[in-house]
Amino acid sequence: MEKNDFFDKVFKVVAKIPYGKVTTYGAIAEVCGTKSAARSVGWALNSVANSNLPCHRVVNRFGALSGKIHFGSPTLMQELLESEGIEFDDDCVNMKKHFWQPE
């Protein structure tokens, strides 16, 4: 699979993440056909920073905001998630309540 094909698949999955839900880099990689490509999902999302995709809804497997450095301020990602009603336990999203499994 070529990089552009994989990135396009990632973008389609991210566009489907429901309001008030999050998913993980690994879950996106798996549904795109390459379970071990979680890091590539991050690269794909970095390539579309400042787009209309809800990239703020993608977190690491623990619910931590590992991509927050790519937003305008260090708190913007969490602020966007909280504005959607997403709850945090310490510094991580409450994954039991807010995780969305892409299909």
Secondary-structure percent of the chain, ordered helix, strand, coil, rounded to 5: 45, 10, 45
24-38 per-residue burial string, b: 16 or more CB within 10 A, e: under 16: bbbbbbbbbeeeebb
At 92, the amino acid letter reads C
Radius of gyration of the chain (CA): 13
Q: Confirm whether 92 is a catalytic residue.
A: no
Catalytic residue among 55, 58, 59, 81: 55
Write out the catalytic residue numbers. 55
